[in-house]
Amino acid sequence: MASVPRLCLLLSIIPTILILCADFACCNTGRKTGDGLDTDFSGFSVPLEHSFEVDDVSRFRMRGALQLRGGRETSVSLSQSQLSEEDRNTLKEVAAVDGLYKIRVPRVSLTDRQTERQMDGYLTAFVRACSLVESHLSDVITLHTDVSGYLIGVSIVTIPGACRGTEVEDEVDLEAFNTTLTIIPPTNAPQPETALFIERMDIEHEKRGKPQEQKSFFAKYWMYIVPLVLFLMMSGAQDQSGGGAANGGGR
């Protein structure tokens, strides 16, 4: 239970939503990564199983083992064996009928070791078998966790992801997986950024405060007012004389 707050701490460090907290390890062939001491400390392993059948009925077999290390820095590595001759042929056959290649991992918690045994069920994902074959077994497996460190989903994609119908001639290409493995914890959604906004407003206020020297109305517009007044005076004087003349005529 003590590790829960530590995970929260880890999540709050993540600065923006664009940077995914990703500790991944690339694993080839059956070579074990990480020394025994490390796995004994806090890591544990769960099976990664896969299924590919021509009749599309799921029969999961062991593909490899996921070495999970929870706690402060969640990390994962994968040790997996090569595909056997028989498996390679089956995979090619499945690809030919546009079947699916499915993987599954058991539901586990990365932080709370006590509940690991209690949860049942699996998380399943799939990819088209043909795209796996055409990408020469280059797949990207992503594990998603929720806020408390439970595995909630798994996804598998191949790069490239398309099925173009190209034949894979070389048997060697289908022997070993070239897997990229990632754990993605949830990202923290941003809060309204009031502090930054207020700061910015203050700076703007300061900027605006200084240079604005208040001139009087007359000082600003004297160049328009003076000619106007002059003009009015001139025309007024003319009017008076004209009016006087008219009046005089009337009498």
Partner 1 sequence: MRADSTCYTDSGSVRMESLKLATHVQRQQYVGKTLFAHFDSHSQSSNKLFLATDKNIFASFNSRTGDLLWRHVDKVGPEGTIDILVLHGQDALMVVGGGRLLRSWDTNMGGLNWEAVLDTGSFQAACFVAIQDTVKHVAVLKKAAISLHYLTNGHQKWVENLPDSDTVQYQAVYSGGEVEVYVLGVVPNSHLTIIAYSLEDGEIIKQRSVEAPWLSSVESSCVVIGQGVLMCVDPATLALYTLPIQAEEAPQFNQILLQSLDLEVSLGFQPVLVSSQPHPARSPISEFFLQLGPDHHVLLQLNADGYTIAALRDFQPAFLVSFATTGEKTVAVVMTPKNETACDINLFSADSGRRLLDTTVIFPLDLNGGKPFKLYVHAFLKKDDSVDYRVLVQTQDHALTFIQQPGRVVWTREEALADVVTMEMVDLPLTGTQAELEGEFGKKADGLFPMVLKRLSSQVILLQAWLAHLWKLFYEARKPHGQVKNEVTIETLSRDEFNLQKMMVMVTASGKLFGIDSKSGSILWKHYLENVQPNAVFKLIVQRTTAHFPHPPQCTLLIKDKDTGLASLHVFNPIFGRKSHIAPPALPRPILQSLLLPVIDQDYAKVLLLVDDQYKVTAFPSTKNVLQQLQEMASSIFFYLIRSDQGNLSGFRLRKDLSTERIWEVVLPTEVQKIVAVNGKRPNEHVHSQGRVMGDRSVLYKYLNPNLLAVVTESTDAHPERAFVGVFLVDGVTGRIIHEAVQRKARGPVHFVHSENWVVYEYWNTKSRRNEFSVLELFEGTELYNSTVFSSLDRPHLPQVLQQTYIFPSPITTMEATLTEKGITSRHLLVGLPSGAILSLPKMFLDPRRPEVVTEHSREENLIPYAPEMPIRTEWFINYNQTVARVKGIYTAPSGLESTCLVVAYGLDIYQTRVYPSKQFDVLKDDYDYVLISSVLFALFFATMISKRLAQVKLLNRAWR
Identify the CA nearest to 129 among candidates 236, 52, 227, 184: 52
Identify the CA nearest to 153 among candidates 122, 187, 111: 122
**CB of 155 vs partner 1, minimal distance in Å:** 4
Instruction: Confirm or reject binding of residue 221 to partner 1 (CB under 8 A).
Output: no
Instruction: Confirm or reject binding of residue 124 to partner 1 (CB under 8 A).
Output: yes
Nearer to partner 1, 97 or 245 (CB): 97
Q: How many residues bind partner 1 (CB under 8 A)?
A: 51
Instruction: Tell me the C-alpha to C-alpha distance, in Å, between residue 175 and each of 44, 127, 187.
Output: 27, 18, 36
Structure tokens at 26: 């690339």
Q: Is residue 63 helix, strand or coil?
A: strand
The correct pick among 21, 46, 100, 176 for binding partner 1 (CB under 8 A) is: 100
Site for partner 1 in 58-77 (CB under 8 A): 58
Residue 127: Cβ within 10 Å count: 21
Nearer to partner 1, 147 or 230 (CB): 147
Nearer to partner 1, 50 or 107 (CB): 107
The correct pick among 155, 168, 173, 175 for binding partner 1 (CB under 8 A) is: 155
Instruction: Confirm or reject binding of residue 212 to partner 1 (CB under 8 A).
Output: no
Residue 213: Cβ within 10 Å count: 5
**CB of 147 vs partner 1, minimal distance in Å:** 6
Site string for partner 1, 175-204 (x = CB under 8 A): ---------xxxxxxxxxxx-xx--x----
Identify the CA nearest to 108 among candidates 91, 122, 89, 97: 122
Q: What angle do CA 4, 7, 13 make, to 5 degrees?
A: 150
Structure tokens at 226: 């003076």
Instruction: Confirm or reject binding of residue 54 to partner 1 (CB under 8 A).
Output: no
The correct pick among 26, 54, 96, 159 for binding partner 1 (CB under 8 A) is: 159
The correct pick among 26, 54, 62, 119 for binding partner 1 (CB under 8 A) is: 119
The correct pick among 92, 144, 168, 176 for binding partner 1 (CB under 8 A) is: 144
Residues found near partner 1 in the complex (CB under 8 A): 17-18, 56-58, 98, 100, 102, 104, 107, 119, 121-128, 131, 140, 142, 144, 146-148, 150, 152-153, 155, 157-163, 184-194, 196-197, 200
